[in-house]
Chain A
Amino acid sequence: MKTPFSVLSAVCLSAVFLFIGCKPKPNGTEPGGSTEDATIAYVTNGVDPFWDLCAAGVRIAEKEFNIKCEVHMPTKGVVDQKRIMEGLLAKGVAGIAVSPVDAENQTPFLNEVAQNSKLITQDADAPDSKRIAYIGTNNYKAGRALGKLVKDALPEGGEVIIFVGRLEQLNARQRRQGVIDELLGKPTQELGSVKFDAVDAKNLTAEGSKYTILDTRTDNFDKAKAKSNAEDAITKYENLKCMVGLFAYNPPACIDAIKEANKAGAIKVCGFDEQDALLQAIKEGHAQGTISQQPWEYGYESVKMLKNILNGTMPEKKFLEVPFLVVTKDNVEEFWKKKKEMAELGKQ
C-alpha cells in the first residue's frame, strides 16, 4: 500500500509539472515576429576542439545580431543528439542549426524537428530532409585544393598515402576523392554527384599523372592508431614522398612519425584543419600546408541565417558555401593568431 507521504509527493510533483506545462512557450516566435527574446540552438555532432572554434563564431554572431544561442555538443552519437534536440524542442527554441551525425537515417527525425522549429544543417547536410538550408564547406573542392598543396610539395611527382579517421562520413569521402582527382588529373566533379573510388583502392594512378596514391588507411579516431598507421606506412613504402591527413589529428600524427623515423624533409605532409602541431610544422617547413574550413564561420553564418529566417527572410539558395582557407608558410602566423583568439573565445 502506498504511504500517505508518497501519495502527497506524487500530487505535488504532478502539480509542478502541470504548472510548468501550462507556462506559455518562453522562446517560440511567430514568423515575422520579434526575435528580441528568441533563443536558437547550435548542435554539433560530437565533442571536439573543432566545435569550440565554431562556438567562437556563434558568440560573435550572438552579439552582432542580438540573439541568444545555446551551443550543445552531444557526446555519444545519434542517440545523444536526438535526446538533446528533443529537449530543445520541448523548451521551444525558435531555430536549430545542426550537424547531423547520420543524415540519411535521421531524416524522419529531422523532418519532425523542421515541423516544430526552424531547422538548418551545418557542417554535414541532410539533403533529403525538410531543412531550410545547409551551411558548409565544399569538401570536394577543399580536397582538390589539398591535392594542389601535394603538387606544390612534390612537383616531380611521387608516391602519396592518405590517412583519415573513418571513410563512412560523406565529408571524408569527398575530401579524399578531391585529392585523388586533383593528383590524377581527373576532371572536376559536381559536389552533389561525386563518384568515389573504392575505399580500399590501392596504387591509384592515371596515364599522364606523376602521382600514385598508394592506399587510404583509417584509424577510427584513435590517435595512437593514427600514429602507428603512419609509422607502418614509413616501413612499408620505401619511396613514400607525401602523407596526406584528412582529419585534424592525422597530420600531427604523421609529423611525429616522420620526425621519429628521421625522415623530416624526405616525406612531406599536407593536412586538413588547424591543430597547433600542424601549424607549428608548417611554420618550421616540415609540413607543406593545410586547408582550414575556418570553423568560426560555421557558427557565425548559422546564427546569422537563423536570425534572418526568424525575421522572415528566407535564404536564396539551399547551400551556403563557407570558403576554406589554404594555409601555407606565407600566412600561417596570421592564421594561427586568429585561431588562438577564436579558441579563447569559444571556451567561454
Chain B
Amino acid sequence: MKKNTLGIFGLLIAIFVVTAVLNDKFISAYNMQNLIKWSSLYAVMSIGVAFVIITGGIDLSIGSVVGLVAVVLAYMMKVKGINPSAAIITTICMSGLIGLVHGLLITKAKIQPFVVTLCGLLIYRSLSRWLTDNQSLGPVPLEGDKGYTNLEFINQLDFIFSGKIAIGSFNLPTPFLFLLVIGITAALFLNRTIWGRYLFALGNNEDGARYSGINTDNMKIIAYVICSLMAGIAGLLFAFELDSVQPAQTGEFYELYAIAAAVLGGCSLRGGEGSILGVIIAAAVIRLIYNSINMLGISTHLEFGILGIVILLGVVADEFLKSYSAKRAAAKQQEP
C-alpha cells in the first residue's frame, strides 16, 4: 500500500473502531452488508471521476448522468416496454457517448472542462425531467403496471444489480462485485498499462507529455468516456437499488461525493496524482461517516459539518505527512 493510501486507510480504521466501541450493533452482519453496498455504489462513481481528475480535469455532470441513465432505463422498460437487455445496452452506450462528447468539446473545441460538464449537469437533468414529465418511475414493476416485457428477466436483473449472495450467514451485496471488477480493471489500467502512464504524465505536465509524443487529446477523451461510463453503471445500480427513479432528484449532487472521495483518496485536483485503492477507501470513509452518525444518534443536521471536518482533517494530515516525509528524504540525501 502506498503511503498516501495508508493515511486514508488509517482514518477508515479509526472511525470504524470508535463507532464499534460506542455501539456494538455497528459490527452486525446486516450493518456491514449495508455499508459495503453503499460504499460500492458511490465508489464506482468516484473511480470514474478519479480518471478525469488525474488528467487535471473535472466532471460536474456525474450526478445528472446517474439520474439520466436511471430515468432512461426505467422509461424504456416501463413506458416503452423495450427489452431490458436492450435498455441496459442503450443506457451504457449513452453514458459512453456523453463522455465522448465531453472529451471532444474539451480537447477539440478547447472549452474548459468545468464549463462543459457544468452545462452537462444542467442539460441531462432537464432531459430526465422532460422525458418522463417529471413522474417517478421504477425499473421493477409494481402490481398492475403494464408495459413491461419479460418480467422474469427484469427480476433477474434486479438480482444482478441489487441482489445479495449468501456466503454462510453473510449476504454479500452484488454491487460489491461490480466494484471489485471495476476497481481491479481500473487499477491495472492506471498502473500496469502504458495508457495509465500517459494519463499521469498528461496530468503532471500536459505540454511536456504532448511534446514527448503522447496523443494527449485522445487520452483525455478516454478519461472522460471512462468517467461517464462509470456514472452510467452507477446509475443502473442506483436505479435497481432504490427501485424508484425521481427525475428531478436521483443523483443530485452525487458529483460532489465522487469528487470528495477522489480528492480524499489521494487524487490531486492539479492532476497527475491518484490511486484507485485510495479512492475506494475514501468512498467507504464517507459512507462510514454517514453510518456512524446514524449509529451514534448524532443529529442529522450535523452530517455535512462532520463530513466536511473529517475530509478537511484527512487532507490536511495527508499534506502534513507528505511534506514531512519529503523533508526527511531531502535530509537523508544531504547526509554524506
Residues on A facing B (Cβ under 8 Å): 46-49, 52, 73, 75, 167, 199-200, 202, 215, 217-219, 221-225, 227-229, 231-236, 238, 249, 252-253, 256, 260-261, 275-277, 280, 283-284, 343, 347
Distance in angstroms from A263 CB to nearest chain B CB is 10
Interchain CB contact under 8 A, B242 and A256: yes
The verdict on A235 contacting B138 (CB below 8 Å), with A48-B248, A224-B242, A252-B244 known, is: no
Q: Which residues 110-140 in B have Cβ within 8 Å of A in the complex?
A: 129, 133-136, 138
A235, B295: Cβ atoms closer than 8 Å: yes
Query: Is the pair A224, B241 in contact by a Cβ cutoff of 8 Å?
Result: yes
Q: Which residue of B lies closest to A202 (CB)?
A: B297
Whether B244 lies near A232 (C-beta < 8 A) is no
Does B291 reach chain A (CB closer than 8 Å)?
A: yes
Q: 8 closest A-B pairs (Cβ-Cβ)?
A: A232-B294, A200-B299, A235-B31, A218-B300, A347-B133, A47-B248, A231-B34, A280-B142
| In contact, A283 and B301 (Cβ under 8 angstroms) | no
Q: List residues of chain B with CB within 8 A of the CB of A238.
A: 25
Known: A256-B243, A283-B143. A232 touches B34 (CB 8 A): yes
For chain B, the count of residues having a C-beta within 8 Å of the partner chain is 38
Residues A249 and B246 in contact, CB atoms below 8 Å apart = yes
Q: Which residues of A contact B134 (CB under 8 A)?
A: 47-49, 52, 73
Contacts of B41 in A (CB 8 A): 224
- Beyond A277-B243, A347-B135, whether A224 also contacts B301 by CB under 8 A is no
> Which residues of A are found within 8 Å of B242, using beta-carbon distances?
223-224, 227, 253, 256
A217-B300, A256-B242 as given contacts; A280 in contact with B135, CB under 8 Å = no
Q: A249-B244, A256-B242, A275-B244 are in contact. Are A234 and B30 (CB under 8 A)?
A: yes
CB distance from B35 to the nearest CB of A (A): 9
A49-B136, A229-B300, A249-B244 given; name 7 further pairs at CB < 8 Å.
A52-B133, A222-B249, A228-B291, A236-B294, A236-B295, A284-B143, A347-B133
Partner of B34, one of A46, A235, A284, A343: A235
**What are some 27 contacts across the A-B interface (CB < 8 A)?**
A46-B248, A48-B134, A49-B135, A49-B136, A52-B134, A73-B134, A217-B294, A218-B301, A219-B300, A221-B252, A222-B252, A222-B253, A223-B242, A224-B238, A227-B241, A231-B31, A232-B291, A235-B30, A235-B295, A236-B295, A236-B297, A238-B25, A276-B142, A277-B142, A277-B244, A280-B143, A347-B133
Residue B28 at the chain A interface, CB threshold 8 Å: yes
Chain A residues with Cβ under 8 A from B133's Cβ?
A: 52, 347
Please tell me if the beta carbons of A261 and B244 are within 8 angstroms of each other in the complex.
no
Q: A235-B26, A280-B142 are in contact. Are A228 and B243 (CB under 8 A)?
A: no
Cα separation A276 to B241 with both chains bound (whole Å): 17
CB distance from B7 to the nearest CB of A (A): 26
Residues of B within 8 A of A73 (CB): 134
Taken residue by residue from 265 to 301, chain B's Cβ proximity to chain A (1 for < 8 Å, 0 otherwise) reads as 0000000000000000000000100110011010111
Q: Which residues of A contact B248 (CB under 8 A)?
A: 46-48, 75
